[in-house]
Amino acid sequence: MASEVAHMAAPVCLIENRPDGTLVIREKAAASLAQIRQPVVVVAIVGLYRTGKSYLMNRLAGKRKGFCLGATVQAMTKGIWMWCRPHPQKQGCTLVLLDTEGLGDVGKANTQNDSWIFALAILLSSTFVYNSMGTIDENALEKLHYVTELTKKIRTKSSPVLSHEDEDSAEFIRFFPAFIWAVRDFTLALEIDGCPISDDGYLENALKLQKGDTEQVTKSNMPRICIRHFFPSRKCFTFDRPTNRRNLSRLEELEEDQLEEDFLEPMNRFCQHVWGTSRPKMVPGGHVVTGSMLVNLMKTYVDAINNGQVPCLENAVVALSKIENSAAVCEAISYYEEQMQKHLKLPTKTVEELLEVHKVCEREAVAKFMAQAFLDNLKMYQEELQEKLNQKLEEFCQKNKEISLDRCRAVLLDLSQELKEGVHLGLYSVPGGYKKFMEKRHEIEEKYHLVPGKGIQAEEALREFLKSKESEAKAILQMDKTLSDKEKEIEAHRAQAEAAQMQQKMLEQEQIRLKQMMEDQKRSHDEQCQLLREHMEKEKKKMEEETDRILQHKLQEEKKLLEEGFYQKARQMEAEIQQLKEEKKNIFVEIAEKVLPHAVAFGSQLMEYKLKSRHFNTQLPKK
């Protein structure tokens, strides 16, 4: 079941950045995050140190204090700090705020570490805020050189064939968050050539490519190209200075009416935009990430970085899918057991009664699995689920038999007490005793049949009871002087025929049970195949929507490149668009390879029932 939001009173360090450059996940913070089983909206902020990042995050948390602000030129935040809060607008979601260590700290020995902090913030977030001071100019873009290093710090595919340069930006888009540029202490007029523009227009104008083929122009265009290619969803907010310089040191203590209106108004718009438009964190295929899933992703990325490797997004999702699919199997089995124990009253009168309850519980358990499962390795995990469900069904069937048999034996033991005492006292070892013994045995049978709630082993228990009395009956028959040898022979044959008839009845009942189990297996297989088909259609639709979103972005980018006169780049973009269209055509094939209906688990179980059925058929006495 989904856990409630972790109401953190204050931020905690999630990833510690040690002096030697090693990134260490704080286990206590990770454990708190892992408890969140509902979707997480992850907002991460990065930027140069001492630019007011923490204040923005405190506002998003709905607080004035929380993340440490500091009032000197020394960087305060080290590593990545986390604050989990109930989402102010999205019920059923948790807002996870990540405040990162300031970039460009002169006191930091390992400057390469900044690139990893930047990359992690992008990989973990669904909304990425870049915070800078002053204006978006060449200097500001140059300081954003971290974005140009992303293809060196992150790989999308596990295939070693692709070089970093060959990887298509479309693959990065599937993983990357929405992008917000927050420009602080902005004092310029928002206009171009005398015409007013919006914050977003200001950003898009700043991202226009510079013409020329010199090394300086190429270097200048790199961050622009990366932002335009990697982040189709872009937004800009410009903030005036919040208050005079004298009060900046105690910013978190100031009331609303002590802050500048030109700061408060965009701040409110910024918060409303983030709260209202930021989506839950997702991975390709449209899988919504929970707190526990985010922890697993984070561990995969950090382990790769600490081992000197480049984090691979595809590998991270595959690793996550294994964890989630395995957990989905366990949760589905647990749910099945809980529901069976809740609704199944043992012993059942018939096998059909048990199978009806099983059918409902199995459907719900499989549906829960499908809702949580990833496409990757789905076939294997669904077969595992079906095998375990079959095992659980057999366990319930066996338990049903045992409870029924124990109850029937107890009833027969109670009913036969008088008969047992009579045999012990020799009441039937007299002339005419055999007739009295048989009358008493028939009386026990009649009373036994009237007892309710015996379950499916009623006949088996009776057969077992009668068989246990055969030796006594034969002994009493032989001692009865009132019967001739011929009568004794006839009675012996009758008793033998009666036992054989009961044995045949038991074998026929077992055959019926096996047939019912086979029919239920076929029903289960057909239903799961249908669920798989429905799952495939849903996944196909999600992947098509994702691809359409990327296509739309690339078409818009192609149009901009043509308008800006970059015809060669536009042709390259056209080639990427055509490739995406081809990939869209093959989406169903790609899904089908991962989700082909399974037959192994079902087939083996069905064969087992058939073999048992043949075995019992050969044991049936010839009529």
Is residue 599 over pLDDT 60?
no
Q: When comparing pLDDT for 34 and 502, which is higher?
A: 34
Q: What is the pLDDT of residue 2?
A: 43
Write out the DSSP string of 519-586: HHHHHHHHHHHHHHHHHHHHHHHHHHHHHHHHHHHHHHHHHHHHHTT-HHHHHHHHHHHHHHHHHHHT
Q: What pLDDT, on the 0 to 100 scale, is given for residue 16?
A: 92
Are 93 and 280 a contacting pair, CB within 8 Å?
yes
Quick one: pLDDT at residue 262?
85
Q: What is the pLDDT of residue 585?
A: 80
H runs (alpha helix) in 257-377: 261-277, 291-306, 313-343, 351-372
Residue of 608 and 406 predicted with greater confidence: 406
81-90: per-residue pLDDT in tens? 999 999 999 9
d(CA 434, CA 482): 9
Q: What is the pLDDT of residues 496-508, one digit of tens each?
A: 888 788 888 888 8
Question: Residue 253 pLDDT more than 90?
Answer: no
pLDDT tens digits for range 100-121: 988 876 555 556 788 899 999 9
Higher pLDDT, 451 or 77: 451
In order of their start, the domains of the chain are 12-156+164-311 (3.40.50.300), 325-623 (1.20.1000.10)
Pairwise CA distance, residues 528 & 532, whole Å: 6
Please give the pLDDT value at position 249. Answer: 64
- pLDDT, residue 285, reads 74
> For residue 72, is pLDDT > 50?
no
Q: Is the pLDDT of residue 442 over 90?
A: yes
- Quote the pLDDT of residue 107: 57
Higher-pLDDT residue of 587 and 233 is 233
For the chain, what percent of residues have pLDDT higher than 70?
Answer: 88
Residue 558 reports pLDDT greater than 80: yes
Mean pLDDT of 443-452: 95
Average pLDDT, integer, range 611-619: 50
Instruction: Name, of 93-97, 110-114, 572-576, the range with top average pLDDT.
Output: 93-97
The predicted pLDDT at position 167 comes to 59
Residue 378's pLDDT is 82
234 three-class SS: strand
pLDDT of residue 602: 44
Radius of gyration of the chain, Cα coordinates, nearest whole angstrom: 37
Average pLDDT on 547-572 reads: 90
Mean pLDDT of 291-317: 93
Output the six-digit token pair for 65: 């204090």
User: Region 428-448: what's the mean pLDDT?
Assistant: 92
**Stretch among 390-394, 488-492, 549-553 having the lowest mean pLDDT:** 488-492
* C-alpha–C-alpha distance, residues 375 and 398, integer Å: 34
User: Is residue 277 predicted with pLDDT exceeding 80?
Assistant: yes
**Higher pLDDT pick, 427 / 256:** 427
pLDDT tens for each residue of 195-223: 999 999 999 999 999 988 899 998 999 99
Does residue 63 surpass a pLDDT of 80?
A: yes
Evaluate if residue 593 carries a pLDDT over 70: no
Confidence class for position 437, pLDDT limits 50, 70, 90 = very high
Confidence of residue 329 (pLDDT cuts 50, 70, 90): very high
Tell me what the pLDDT averaged over the chain comes to: 85
Phi, psi torsion values for 482, nearest 5 degrees: -80, -10
pLDDT number for residue 70: 46
Q: What average pLDDT does this structure show over 318-341?
A: 95
**Residues 449-474: b if buried by 16+ CB within 10 A, e if exposed:** eeeeebbbbbebbbbebbeebeeebe
Q: How confident is the model at residue 598 (pLDDT cuts 50, 70, 90)?
A: very low
Distance CA 297, CA 320 (A): 7
Q: Looking at residue 5, what is its pLDDT?
A: 54
Q: Which pLDDT score is estimated for 31? A: 95
At 521-541, the pLDDT tens digits run: 888 888 888 887 787 788 888
Q: Which segment of 339-343, 398-402, 559-563 scores lowest on mean pLDDT? A: 559-563
